[in-house]
Amino acid sequence: MIDQGRCLAALETVTGLVVARVGSTTAVPSELQNLAAKVVETGAAALIEQGDFPEQSTQAGSLAARLWALYDKLLEALVAGVEALGDSPAVSMRPAYNFPPPLLTRYMNF
């Protein structure tokens, strides 16, 4: 059974991390919304995996380590895309769940 509260908390945490890197949710153009969703999904999966199997998360080949590596690559691609499309990421903390729908809407109904 999926713990909705835990999943939403992980999504909220990772959304905050992504927003901290790109500056604000409005800095992510519509062309990059799907990539932003993928970054948040991958980070949340890594966070949950790390929480479920903490004894394995320090191993280089663990699923959590591979998910965090993928998250880092996707996040760098997102930041590069934001920069390439004209906005330079300026860090300003915003509340999580600021990404416009449908990015987080699909997580509300499990």
pLDDT per residue rounded down to tens, the chain (110 residues)? 678 888 889 999 999 999 999 988 888 888 898 999 999 999 999 999 988 888 887 788 889 889 999 999 999 999 999 888 865 555 444 444 444 444 444 444 43
- pTM reported for the whole predicted model: 0.74
**Euclidean distance between CA atoms 64 and 95, whole angstroms:** 26
Q: At what angle do helices 63-84 and 4-22 cross, to 10 degrees?
A: 40
Q: Which amino acid is present at 25?
A: T
Q: Which amino acid is present at 100?
A: P
Q: Is the torsion defined by CA of 9, 11, 79, 84 positive or negative?
A: negative
Domain boundaries, the chain: 17-107
Query: Of 22, 7, 6, which is closest to residue 99 (Cα–Cα)?
Result: 22
Contacts of 93 (CB under 8 A, 6+ apart): 16, 19, 20
Q: How far is CA 77 from the centre of its chain?
A: 12
